[in-house]
Amino acid sequence: MKQQFLIFILFLFTSCNYFDVKKTSSEAILNEELKSISWNDIDVYPAFEVCDSSSTTQERKYCFEETLIEHILKSLSKEKMIVSSNLKDTIFIDFKLSEKGDISILTLKVQKETLKALPNITSQIHSAMDSLPKIYPAIKRGQFVTTQFKLPIIIKSD
């Protein structure tokens, strides 16, 4: 009886997959990790030097956006823009900030009426973006990453 019991126990342990060791490849681990990452969120928002004192992500985001808008508006206000009719338009600037902190404009959407009234507006926006102070790029999981933004600029004349 003891022999049958021992054979039964031995058979039970050897037929079970409990002791099998499954190897997980590094590729499988990487794929699982990549699925769990939220690619639309960043850990640390891009910032100008004046935003270094901001401690939270929301404060850094607000400081970055305000500094960017102020710089572009100051740059555009230096130019003498004269229009003969009422003008109301929203210009959309799609730009990306590289992992090195370089800005490049992807698209600039301006209505035809605005281009007629202000033919140099695109070059003025390009020069305003090119003259921005140093920007520290966004950080995701300890790495600098490229981020993309869409900035609306409202132009209104009376």
Using DSSP bridges, classify how beta strands 87-97 and 138-140 pair: parallel, antiparallel or unpaired. unpaired
Residue 96 has pLDDT above 90, yes or no: yes
Residue 120 has pLDDT above 80, yes or no: yes
Percentage of the chain beyond pLDDT 70 is 80
Residue 50 has pLDDT above 90, yes or no: no
Residue 14 has pLDDT above 70, yes or no: no
Averaged pLDDT for residues 98-105 = 92
Averaged pLDDT for residues 67-77 = 88
Tokens of 115: 């281009």
CA distances from 37 to 74, 97, 142 (A): 38, 20, 13
Residue count of the chain: 158
Residue 130 has pLDDT above 80, yes or no: yes
Task: Tell me the whole-structure pTM to 2 decimals.
Answer: 0.69
> What is the pLDDT, as a whole number, of residue 34?
62
> What is the pLDDT, as a whole number, of residue 16?
58
> What is the pLDDT, as a whole number, of residue 22?
63
d(CA 36, CA 139): 17
